[in-house]
Amino acid sequence: MDKPRVSLFTARAGGPYQWGRDMLAELPRWGIEATHIASYNGYAASLLRTDADLVHTTIPIPFKLWRKPTLLTVQGDYTEEHNFLQRYYPMMVANADAITTSSQHVKDKIPLPATATVIPNPIFPDRFKATEHGTREKLNLVTVMNFYFKDKVRGLVDLFSALEKSELTNFRCIVVGDGPYKYAIEAHALRTGLDIIFSGMLEDVGLVLSNSDIFVYYTHQDSFPNTITEAMASKLPVVINNFGSIGEIVEHGHDGLVADNPEQFAEALRSLFARAEYRRELGENARASVVRKFNWRVVISHFLQIYGRLLGREKEKIWTRN
């Protein structure tokens, strides 16, 4: 039986790009030949011709000269994006043979058709080393931020406010990430007097996660931030604000703490600082949740079902993991 061939189209960087690389690594395990296209030259060439049996894309492809079944995966709220591709998403949504999205929140907010399937963004949990919780004189907090989006960075102001309201002093907070808004936030952080370090971009975020005690995250613009599930995979208790699809990722009090405002955020931090065992318990539950719900080994099956339907091979046992 011939192996199905899939072309994966993603952006050239960021979370969607990493999603494409991960999908490229996982699909061959199930007997599928895959190519990853993430360049302008690749986009242009593929509009004219593709040897794939199916196209799976995270970017809109409104114009093409081939007739292949197309699966569109919407990973965020494209109505908030400000680039030349934004205008093409409605046409792509109308023409795609199937649509998936990373969260019910995104599906409802855009909104997407009722037939769109919610499939969360997965990660490989085994890539992340678990932290070791214990009683320490000074705790390490960590957050990861994309400094290219103003509303995301605005969340850091609220995070620093929560840290001030907590009145805790025995911590150091590492902020990972880079972008044009970084310098203004660095100046703001300096004025708070808090022990905050801006590391810039790091090649291996997992190394910082595994050497931290608590993951903190405050945002006003996000859909399904993988940085949260990566922290959970590292057995870190996460403290986050209630925004977007957060409720679809974290169960408050079980595998993390969700706050509605900086005051609640501060209270959550105080509870974690007071008890190492509580940090360990939430971290263990967080890792288990990721393995169960946000693991590529689990999530891939949902995509494979759609592949089979679009290829007319849903009744064949074509997916055999190697």
Q: What is the pLDDT of residue 13?
A: 85
Given the structure tokens 């997407």, which residue do they identify? 112
* Residue 320 pLDDT grade (very low, low, confident, very high; cuts 50, 70, 90): low
How do strand 139-144 and strand 117-118 relate by DSSP bridges? Answer: unpaired
Q: Is the pLDDT of residue 316 over 80?
A: no
Q: For residue 141, what are its two tokens?
A: 């907090």
Q: For residue 128, what are its two tokens?
A: 């992340």
Interatomic CA distance for residues 70 and 50, integer angstroms: 12
* Residue 90 pLDDT grade (very low, low, confident, very high; cuts 50, 70, 90): very high
Q: pLDDT tens digits for 185-200?
A: 999 999 999 999 999 9
* Residue 222 pLDDT grade (very low, low, confident, very high; cuts 50, 70, 90): confident
Q: Which CATH superfamily is domain 126-293 in?
A: Glycogen Phosphorylase B; (3.40.50.2000)
Q: How is the chain split among helix, strand and coil, in percent rounded to 5?
A: 45, 20, 40
Q: Is the pLDDT of residue 2 over 90?
A: no
CB neighbours of residue 99 within 10 Å:
19
Between the alpha carbon of residue 149 and those of residues 1, 21, 179, the distances in Å are: 47, 24, 8
Q: pLDDT tens digits for 114-136?
A: 999 999 999 999 999 999 887 77
5-122+295-310 shares its CATH topology with 126-293: yes
Interatomic CA distance for residues 266 and 250, integer angstroms: 18
The CATH classification of domain 5-122+295-310, taken from the options 2.40.10.10, 3.30.450.20, 3.40.30.10, 3.40.50.2000? 3.40.50.2000
Q: In the chain, where are the structural domains located?
A: 5-122+295-310, 126-293
* Residue 65 pLDDT grade (very low, low, confident, very high; cuts 50, 70, 90): confident
Average pLDDT for residues 161-170, to the nearest whole number? 96
Q: What is the pLDDT of residue 318?
A: 54
Q: Is the pLDDT of residue 314 over 70?
A: no
- Per the CB < 8 A criterion, the answer to whether 231 and 209 are in contact is yes
